């Protein structure tokens, strides 16, 4: 199965690789109000009536007017130049508003461009103006979580990165995501070192961009690998801004005899490292490219390394973009209609699931739309799949997290499913997520800022 559109994934692997998008601090996506009674309600995948006309008439909460709902979309576009979250917001709001909006209210997405280092400033703005946060993310998200909880602002993020933010109060992650205290990648790791490439178990290497985020991820990876009985024989950091010449790193990997490599950083840098390895005629058993590399640009950059090396990525229970799933096909059609030049990425698919969850909950609240209603309604979902975009997640009881994973491998002909032992459709779900022993930080709570859930209105 070939991937026909770029599919860039897993922004949490490095601060520089954080998947974000946007155009400006208060740019609104273009969309029509769609308030005509002749408009047909919008269905998506197996979800019906996600958006529809209605007779809402009250200004029931901050950010909610009789005819509009303002929601914030966090992004690092000023730093990354990556517009995936804003593209997702544009496509969703355009489609939703064409179908009548949320009970007749126009859905308006307001970009909050954190520019990597300004999450707190953007959160203060969102606290003054937005009804909720939907479908976004920023690399240093811990910097704004305190302000968000102080102003009782619900969040439906596409992704979370730092431990203080992931799983914080008043946050609902719609799709399989980073769950505090657990390693969702243990299935992937187990498959790699115990099943697919057992000769690599005593010769695993890790290489990380030198940032606080990736150093923490590296420590988590090491803990899980050692718990599986694997031996890490190479563990190196490289400058977070990248490396001009990867030859010394490639030589070290070869001299150490590394057979399985976990790479955390941008796919552009990984392609350069693999070029050096391939030129040395050194082939690893496997390379975890991290799913940030799940796009066709990466394969093009790999050149002959696409077939010489063995790049594999874990999509963590999200359907491959090249799959025949009805929801995936519909998403491709909507992007073609509303943003034909935009890329559909894994973070964008996660964002879409968040938008669907928010819209479904908000529609159920009707004219009396409040933060408490939309949060409580969304939190009642026990088998949320984003209409079929990913495995079911129990949003009412997110711990322990769902254990499903699915693996793709790179070839010169595109991304293909790996033989990973799927036992539930597209996914494999027989290896439970692993709880960490180490203390890598905890999500922030309302109690940490002197608040409680009863103050949510």
What whole-number distance in Å separates Cα of residue 121 and Cα of residue 115? 10
Sequence-ordered list of residues with C-beta below 8 angstroms from that of 348, at least 6 positions apart, any chain: 84, 85, 87, 88, 158
- Identify whether 430 is part of a domain: no
Q: Are 346 and 125 in contact (CB under 8 A)?
A: no
What whole-number distance in Å separates Cα of residue 288 and Cα of residue 298? 13
What whole-number distance in Å separates Cα of residue 297 and Cα of residue 299? 5
- Identify whether 206 is part of a domain: yes
What whole-number distance in Å separates Cα of residue 148 and Cα of residue 45? 32
- Identify whether 383 is part of a domain: yes
What whole-number distance in Å separates Cα of residue 379 and Cα of residue 169? 12
Instruction: Please name every residue paired with 176 in a beta bridge, in sequence order, or none if there are none.
Output: none
Quote the tokens at residue 244. Answer: 């001009």
- Identify whether 17 is part of a domain: yes
Both 163 and 206 in one domain: the answer is no
Both 304 and 226 in one domain: the answer is yes
Give the chain's domain count.
2
Q: What is the pLDDT of residue 350?
A: 94
Q: Which of 289, 315, 341 is the last residue before a domain boundary?
A: 315
What whole-number distance in Å separates Cα of residue 17 and Cα of residue 130? 27
Q: For the chain, what is the largest distance between any 2 Cα atoms, rounded to a whole number of angstroms?
A: 70
What whole-number distance in Å separates Cα of residue 55 and Cα of residue 327? 29
What whole-number distance in Å separates Cα of residue 319 and Cα of residue 244? 35
Sequence-ordered list of residues with C-beta below 8 angstroms from that of 372, at least 6 positions apart, any chain: 456, 457
Comparing CA positions, the residue from 188, 187, 98, 114 lying closest to residue 157 is 114
Comparing CA positions, the residue from 377, 412, 410, 407 lying closest to residue 395 is 377
Both 380 and 328 in one domain: the answer is yes
Comparing CA positions, the residue from 398, 418, 290 lying closest to residue 346 is 290
Both 297 and 369 in one domain: the answer is no
Both 295 and 224 in one domain: the answer is yes
- Output the CA–CA distances (angstroms, integers) from residue 436 to 214, 225, 227, 236, in the order listed: 16, 11, 10, 22
Q: Which of 282, 315, 348 is the last residue before a domain boundary?
A: 315
Both 153 and 16 in one domain: the answer is yes
- Identify whether 420 is part of a domain: no
Q: Which of 285, 315, 345 is the last residue before a domain boundary?
A: 315
Q: Are 72 and 134 in contact (CB under 8 A)?
A: yes
What whole-number distance in Å separates Cα of residue 184 and Cα of residue 318? 13
Both 305 and 333 in one domain: the answer is no
Helices 371-378 and 346-365: angle between axes, nearest 10 degrees: 120
- Identify whether 425 is part of a domain: no
212: domain CATH number is 3.40.50.2300
Radius of gyration of the chain (CA): 21
Q: Are 174 and 353 in contact (CB under 8 A)?
A: yes
Tens of pLDDT, residue by residue, the chain (457 residues)? 333 333 333 333 333 333 333 323 333 443 444 333 446 789 999 999 999 999 999 999 999 999 999 999 999 999 989 899 999 999 999 999 999 999 999 999 999 999 999 999 999 999 999 999 999 999 899 999 999 999 999 999 999 988 899 999 999 999 977 888 999 899 999 999 999 999 999 999 999 988 877 888 899 999 999 999 999 999 999 998 889 999 999 999 999 999 999 999 889 999 999 999 999 999 999 999 988 788 888 999 999 999 999 999 999 999 998 899 999 999 999 999 999 999 898 889 999 999 999 999 999 999 999 999 999 999 999 999 999 999 999 999 999 999 999 999 999 999 999 999 999 999 999 999 999 999 988 999 999 999 999 999 9
Both 69 and 201 in one domain: the answer is no
- Identify whether 195 is part of a domain: yes
Both 175 and 198 in one domain: the answer is no
Structural domain of residue 78, as residue ranges?
A: 11-180+323-400+442-455
Comparing CA positions, the residue from 153, 55, 47, 148 lying closest to residue 375 is 153
- Identify whether 433 is part of a domain: no
What whole-number distance in Å separates Cα of residue 78 and Cα of residue 62? 27
Both 192 and 332 in one domain: the answer is no
Both 97 and 217 in one domain: the answer is no
Q: What is the pLDDT of residue 39?
A: 62
Both 278 and 330 in one domain: the answer is no
3-state secondary structure of 234: strand
């Amino acid at each position: 199965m070939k991937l026909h559109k770029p599919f860039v994934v897993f922004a949490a692997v490095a601060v520089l690789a954080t998947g974000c998008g946007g155009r400006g601090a208060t740019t609104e996506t273009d969309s029509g109000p769609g308030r005509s009674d002749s408009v047909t309600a919008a269905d998506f995948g197996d979800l019906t009536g996600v958006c529809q006309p209605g007779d809402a008439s009250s200004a029931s909460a901050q950010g909610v007017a009789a005819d509009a709902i303002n929601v914030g979309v966090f992004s690092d576009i000023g730093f990354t130049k990556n517009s995936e979250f804003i593209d997702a917001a544009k496509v969703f709001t355009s489609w939703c508003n064409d179908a009548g909006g949320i009970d007749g209210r126009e859905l308006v997405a307001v970009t909050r461009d954190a520019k990597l280092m300004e999450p707190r400033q953007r959160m203060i703005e969102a606290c003054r103006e937005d009804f909720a946060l939907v479908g976004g993310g920023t690399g240093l998200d811990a910097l704004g979580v305190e302000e968000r909880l102080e102003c009782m602002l619900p969040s439906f993020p596409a992704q979370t990165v730092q431990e203080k933010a992931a799983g914080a109060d008043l946050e609902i992650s719609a799709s399989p995501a980073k769950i505090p205290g657990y390693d969702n990648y243990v299935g992937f790791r187990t498959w790699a070192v115990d099943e697919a490439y057992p000769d690599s178990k005593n010769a695993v290497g890790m290489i990380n961009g030198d940032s606080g985020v990736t150093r923490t991820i590296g420590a988590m990876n090491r803990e899980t690998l050692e718990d599986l009985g694997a031996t890490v024989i190479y563990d190196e950091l490289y400058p977070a801004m990248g490396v001009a010449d990867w030859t010394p790193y490639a030589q070290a990997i070869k001299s150490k005899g590394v057979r399985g490599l976990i790479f955390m950083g941008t796919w552009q840098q990984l392609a350069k490292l693999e070029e050096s390895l391939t030129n040395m005629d050194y082939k690893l058993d496997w390379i975890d490219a991290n799913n940030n590399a799940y796009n066709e640009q990466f394969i093009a950059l790999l050149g002959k390394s696409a077939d010489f090396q063995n790049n594999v990525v874990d999509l963590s229970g999200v359907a491959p973009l090249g799959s025949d799933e009805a929801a995936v096909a519909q998403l491709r059609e909507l992007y073609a209609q509303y943003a034909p030049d935009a890329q559909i990425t894994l973070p964008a698919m996660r964002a879409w699931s968040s938008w669907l969850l928010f819209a479904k909950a908000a529609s159920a609240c009707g004219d009396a739309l409040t933060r408490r209603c939309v949060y409580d309604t969304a939190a009642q979902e026990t088998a949320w799949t984003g209409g079929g975009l990913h495995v079911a997640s129990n949003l009412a009881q997110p711990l322990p997290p769902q254990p499903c994973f699915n693996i793709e491998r790179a070839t010169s002909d595109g991304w293909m499913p790996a033989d990973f032992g799927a036992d539930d459709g597209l996914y494999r779900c027989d290896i439970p997520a692993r709880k960490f022993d180490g203390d890598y930080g905890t999500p922030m709570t309302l109690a940490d800022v002197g608040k409680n859930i009863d103050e949510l209105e």
